[in-house]
A and B are shown apart, each in its own frame.
Chain A
Amino acid sequence: MDATISFLAAAIVAGTPLLFATLGEIITEKVGNLNLGVEGMMLMGAIIGFKTALVTHSPIIALLTSMLAGAAGALIYAVLTVSFRANQVVTGLTLTTFGTGFAGFLGQNLVGQVVPATVKSFFRPFAFPGLSKIPVLGEIFFQQDIFVYLSYLSVFIVGVYLYKTSFGLNVRAVGENPGAADVASINTTFYKYFHILLGGALCGLGGAYLSLVYIPVWQNNVTAGRGWIAVALVIFAIWNPYKAVIGSYLFGGLDIIGFRIQDTSFPVSMYFLDMLPYIVTVVILVVISFRKSKENAPPQGLGNPYFREER
């Protein structure tokens, strides 16, 4: 039992950077833009957050600047795809390469440097008052660091925003059919810009979780492909922030389960386990395309640039 609880608690931690990045990408795709630059924006957030922590010794400022860095990466993407209507896939891929180089360049002389003690202690896990007393669930969900609690809050806010507010309705309208949204006098350009930037900020936070909390020592390429898993997770979660929680923790758990069963009587190849998240994603894609239900479909306008003149 203890082993299971410790595994599940570790799965939450492994899933948290994925959760932030997935939420960010869901918001971006909800306004109809496919941004494959998640990995790049995560790395931008990771390096800027780390650098800020080194200079200011302030965890709050480090969090804010990491969000700004992610948003700045997203701004490049937004200018190109929304204003200039460049190909979204190519632009996103470019952003990933750019962000990787950006972080490598700024971090050149930071490798091996350690986050200041004030920041480290701020991000230390603590028992959430009250809720941590719940048997089992409390131990799994509420003995974590402040970043993890922030991720719970983000899911809730994003969920309510998208499904319970008129702004969220507009967001979904822009993503489904920007022409119709435009007719309904929704400022599509503003909505696209704002949510692409917001998505970038969340990706930046996901990167900062890795560089500030989980590995508080600067490492080149600290995300190591997690941005791509987040892109797959959006499909897994069928563009739903609540399902993103399940997906993130499941993928986080799959990432680490290999270490827990390597020398038990249950022999599974590590390579197979590394493949599992992607196999699951492919299966879900197939299932979605068979069921063809409107709720589970991607936003209809996803990937298409919007020209008012072509309406």
Chain B
Amino acid sequence: MKKTVSILLIMCMFLALALTGCGQEEKAPGENAEADNSAVKVGFVYVGPASDGGWTTSHDVARKQLENNLNIDTLYKESVPEGPECEKVINDLIDQGCNVIFSTSFGFMDYTLNAAKAHPDVKFMHCSGYMTNENMGAYFGRIYQARYLSGIAAGMKTKTDKIGYVAAYEIPEVLRGINAFTLGVRSVNPDATVHVKWTHTWIDAAKAKDAAVALLAEDCDVITQHQDAPGPQIAAEEKGVWSIGYNMDMKDVAPKAYITAPVWNWGPYYEKQVKAIMDGTWKAENYWGGMEDGIVDLAPLTENAPEGAKEAIEKVKAEIIDGSFKVFSGPIKGQAGEIRVAEGETLTDEELTSMDWFVEGVVGNPKQ
């Protein structure tokens, strides 16, 4: 008897978990959908909770813009694991009437492709991957351009000429960011070095903070991060030095330290794509946009920014946007001082997406 009761109670706990933990939410169809737009219904697949305050939030902000500006219906599924369940979630969205799907994490790539093959009449767009299909596009942003600009602010701010960089994993995307940042730093402060610590986690805020504390103990006085959690910002705030964020504005976390942050702005791209689908002009593409499209940007500088940084950054930003300046144009030296990119040359997108080395001025090991 008692065993039965306890089994029942355990089942209740599992049920409670299923109700609370997964937190998959759906939005009821909007009432203001007009007849013209009812043909398009967009579904989003998120890897984290919509309110994660970083990566997923940046996509969710764009989803809301899509709803308001194009007056269409959207659905989203949050905290979807990067595995076979993703395909089920996509099918679910299609069953609920979605005919456009955005899946916003690298690990969704294979499953998005499977779904795309199974549903030729639905349009798919996958973020940060490389696989495409007739009805599946890939898209990502050149956040490294914004990192270069944030490097200018850091290079002008540092007094010790040592800047700390808390980084997650030794993958091309992260290495590219570190290199672009360092090039930005040394464009205004050739003596400065960028010190990298690997955490091997995206989300463990405490570990990211530990890494920043270690960097601060080595005399770094500006801290930046390629982490989703704001731990390094807190370490800089507590030590009374400066910080540069990532993903979104982190002013509230570290009001006395925070200078700026490279941020994502997916809204304009999503609008353009959905409009093209509505007009019937959409074609699957592999899109890697930069500042010229506004898909990446630098958050507004705070009063912690060094004097003259705004002007210097505006100038380079304008050059990036009109195409006269490319971040990875030679001459660029590698860590040992050897020439990696000769004068007059620019790294191609293939070279950028397979980057496995550090530029001169980075202190750290680019390989595991």
Residue ranges of A at the interface with B (Cβ–Cβ < 8 Å): 3, 6-7, 10, 14, 17, 76, 79-80, 84-86, 90-91, 94-95, 97-98, 100-102, 104-105, 108-109, 111-114, 210, 214-217, 219-222, 224-226, 255-256, 258-260, 262-263, 267, 269-271, 274
Q: Answer whether A108 and B23 are a contact pair too, CB < 8 Å, given A217-B234, A220-B203, A224-B201.
A: yes
Q: How far is the CB of A116 from chain B (nearest CB, A)?
A: 12
Q: Decide if A222 touches B206 in the complex (CB within 8 Å).
A: yes
Binds A, one of B1-9, B137-145, B261-269, B341-349: B1-9
Q: Decide if A215 touches B205 in the complex (CB within 8 Å).
A: yes
Q: Identify the closest chain B residue to A262 (Cβ).
A: B197
- List residues of chain B with CB within 8 A of the CB of A267: 365
- List residues of chain B with CB within 8 A of the CB of A270: 198, 200, 368
Q: Decide if B213 touches A10 in the complex (CB within 8 Å).
A: yes
Q: How far is the CB of B26 from chain A (nearest CB, A)?
A: 15
How many B residues touch A, CB cutoff 8 Å? 49
Q: How far is the CB of B215 from chain A (nearest CB, A)?
A: 8
- List residues of chain B with CB within 8 A of the CB of A226: 206
- B107 contacts chain A at the CB level, 8 A cutoff: no
Q: Identify the closest chain B residue to A273 (Cβ).
A: B200
14 A–B contacts, CB within 8 A, in A order: A6-B217, A86-B7, A90-B10, A94-B10, A104-B21, A105-B21, A111-B49, A112-B53, A215-B229, A259-B197, A259-B211, A262-B365, A270-B368, A271-B200
Quick one: which of B17, B52, B210 contacts A256, CB cutoff 8 A? Answer: B210
Q: How far is the CB of B354 from chain A (nearest CB, A)?
A: 22
Quick one: which of B2, B21, B205, B252 contacts A101, CB cutoff 8 A? Answer: B21
Q: Decide if A94 touches B14 in the complex (CB within 8 Å).
A: yes
Q: How far is the CB of A58 from chain B (nearest CB, A)?
A: 21
- List residues of chain B with CB within 8 A of the CB of A105: 20-21, 23
Q: How far is the CB of A23 from chain B (nearest CB, A)?
A: 19
- List residues of chain B with CB within 8 A of the CB of A86: 3, 6-7, 9-10
A to B contact number (C-beta, < 8 Å): 143
Write the B225-242 contact mask toward A (1 if CB under 8 angstroms, else 0). 000011100100000000
Q: Decide if A101 touches B234 in the complex (CB within 8 Å).
A: no
Write the B142-176 contact mask toward A (1 if CB under 8 angstroms, else 0). 00000000000000000000000000000000000
Give complex CA distance A114, B238 in Å. 14
Quick one: which of B16, B205, B368 contacts A219, CB cutoff 8 A? Answer: B205
- B195 contacts chain A at the CB level, 8 A cutoff: yes
Ranked nearest first, the 6 interchain pairs of A and B with the lowest CB-CB distance are: A101-B21, A112-B53, A84-B6, A259-B214, A224-B204, A86-B6
- B209 contacts chain A at the CB level, 8 A cutoff: yes
- List residues of chain A with CB within 8 A of the CB of B217: 3, 6-7, 10, 260
- B364 contacts chain A at the CB level, 8 A cutoff: yes
Give complex CA distance A207, B200 in Å. 22
Q: How far is the CB of A259 from chain B (nearest CB, A)?
A: 4
- B97 contacts chain A at the CB level, 8 A cutoff: no
Q: Decide if A216 touches B234 in the complex (CB within 8 Å).
A: yes
Q: Identify the closest chain A residue to B2 (Cβ).
A: A84
Quick one: which of A79, A84, A85, A263 contacts B365, CB cutoff 8 A? Answer: A263
Give complex CA distance A271, B170 in Å. 12
Q: Identify the closest chain A residue to B11 (Cβ).
A: A94
Give complex CA distance A113, B20 in Å. 21
Q: Decide if B230 touches A255 in the complex (CB within 8 Å).
A: no
Q: Decide if A221 touches B203 in the complex (CB within 8 Å).
A: yes
Q: Decide if B10 touches A220 in the complex (CB within 8 Å).
A: no
Q: How far is the CB of B106 from chain A (nearest CB, A)?
A: 19
- List residues of chain A with CB within 8 A of the CB of B229: 215, 219
Quick one: which of B49, B200, B204, B365 contacts A108, CB cutoff 8 A? Answer: B49
Give complex CA distance A3, B209 in Å. 17
User: Beyond the given A111-B49, A112-B51, could you list 4 further A-B residue pairs with CB under 8 A, ordered by the A residue number?
Assistant: A10-B214, A101-B16, A112-B252, A219-B230
- B207 contacts chain A at the CB level, 8 A cutoff: yes
Q: Decide if A260 touches B214 in the complex (CB within 8 Å).
A: yes
Q: Decide if A114 touches B51 in the complex (CB within 8 Å).
A: no
Q: How far is the CB of A269 from chain B (nearest CB, A)?
A: 7
Give complex CA distance A208, B329 in Å. 48
- B61 contacts chain A at the CB level, 8 A cutoff: no
Give complex CA distance A98, B15 in Å. 10
Write the B168-203 contact mask toward A (1 if CB under 8 angstroms, else 0). 000000000000000000000000000111101101
Q: Decide if B210 touches A14 in the complex (CB within 8 Å).
A: yes
